[in-house]
Structure 1
Amino acid sequence: LLDDSFDAKISDFGISRLVNTKKTLYTEHVIGSIGYMDPLFVRDGRLTVKGDVYSFGVVLLELFSRKKATIEDGKASILDLFTEALARGITRVNKMFDNEIVNENNMEILELVGKLISECSRMERVKRPEMIDVAERLRMLSKALNQERHSKPVEVITPIKTWATEWCRYFSFA
């Protein structure tokens, strides 16, 4: 997703369309990248912002696992493997993450990242979080990780709705 110079590798928006987020769009011609597309969108052609949340969950899993969204044999996706690991327990999920980032000092943070990925990739659209909430949780996890690196005690909490979150929702930035 980023090269050694931290240049973005995600760049193909050739099939993207700008849509009004206040309305749901239906399409008969589903086009997208296998492994990233919301399975519900593939099934019913209903394009919503929650489909983007699903896709972001896949990208987040790629970042933390250093694995591609689709597995070469085409029989499963990284998300399928993650979901199986999640069903077997959190220690299996932690084994999905890149070995270079897994250590006993950040297990709580990684478990929360795993939970966030799981929430983003839920099959029920309405149960997926809003992107503004995902961003806030990632900011909090980043802050907690930075504090952990500096050996300060940290408590990771679930984000509360702030005035900024509500402001963004009011003006449809979320």
Structure 2
Amino acid sequence: MPAKEHRAPWGRSLILISVLSSLLCLGISTGFALSRHSGLRWPLLLPLVVLAVCALFTVRGYVVTADALLVRRLLWTTRLPWAGAAALQSVHAEPDAMRGSMRLWGNGGLYAFTGLFRSKKLGRYRAFVMDRHRTVVLRLAGRTIVVSPASPQDFVRDVRQVSGLADSG
């Protein structure tokens, strides 16, 4: 069966956080550039490096294959297998699945919500999210993944179809 591609559109909160944080970082860099402290160059560059690194982790989309989920980033693809030992157990659309979560490690909204998170409802999980209101939860043997495709219902249907997972509603 052919791979199925899904877009990862930005949600309103991600746009707001990213715009405000970018303006703050650019303002800090501009302030240092215009200051008379010519010996301090790292404060000028640090906010720009933060912006560049975070931009690299932006999620552009998802590709559903028979044995894995591919998360497309700006310069690379993260492969999350769900065949064999990492067997896919369930997939379902769950709007706002990240609500009440605590970030353990990763990015909390500068161009993406990615990394390791924990919540009472989901336990520990890995997020590749651009819109916190359009989330899908994938439960695999030993781990949980949260993503945010443009159409959660179509994504769930495609994952079930290509993985052979029975429709669990």
- Please report the TM-score for the alignment, with normalisation by the length of structure 2: 0.26
Larger radius of gyration: 2
Higher RCO, 1 or 2 (CA under 8 Å, sep at least 6)?
A: 2
Query: Whose helix fraction is larger, Structure 1's or Structure 2's?
Result: 1
- Please report the TM-score for the alignment, with normalisation by the length of structure 1: 0.25
Query: Whose strand fraction is larger, Structure 1's or Structure 2's?
Result: 2
